[in-house]
Amino acid sequence: MKKLEWFVLMTKPGRQEEVALRLKEANFDVFNPKLNQYSKKRAKYLVQPLFPMYLFVRLDIEESFKMINYTRGVLRFLGIGKTPHPINEEIVSALMNRCEDNQLIKAKHDFEDIKAGDKVQIANGPLEGIEAVVSGIYGDKQRIEILLDLMKISIEKKNLRKI
């Protein structure tokens, strides 16, 4: 009887997607969670791995260790010393429950109900903790204009908390 457990697999840099595809084609359960993150450098949102260079793979380690360990692009299994160590299935399940079908993590945002006139507190960045009033919301719905006692600035919604 197969004993399927989740393991963490470390890949070579830039090879994570390729390894995930190879393992899926070999009928392994592969979980490669991703985030949709804003890149200031490129001025747009990019889908990037939640854990760069790491994949979750569900397998019977006795049966599949050599095959996976020698897959092109794989560095090693994470474990104790050279012995692969399974991770708790609850951890993987919790991450999977936060994902959409494409393994993209659904970010939890509690700012959906922020509107003009609301009092907010800046939750991140150099102005963290300062309170302000929302004066407007931009068309992209990601940035909000707030009024501070001294000035008016634009800030990303994710950096605010409604109070």
> Per the structure block, which two tokens stand in for 48?
């990037």
- Determine the Cα–Cα distance for residues 33 and 49; give it in Å rounded to an integer: 6
* CB half-sphere exposure, 41, CA atoms < 13 A: 2
Per-residue pLDDT at 90: 87
Whether the CB-CB separation of 110 and 118 falls below 8 Å is answered with no
pLDDT per residue rounded down to tens, the chain (163 residues): 678 999 999 999 999 999 999 999 999 999 999 988 777 777 777 888 889 999 999 999 999 999 998 999 999 999 888 889 999 888 888 888 888 878 888 765 544 577 788 888 877 766 677 788 888 776 655 667 776 665 556 777 777 777 7
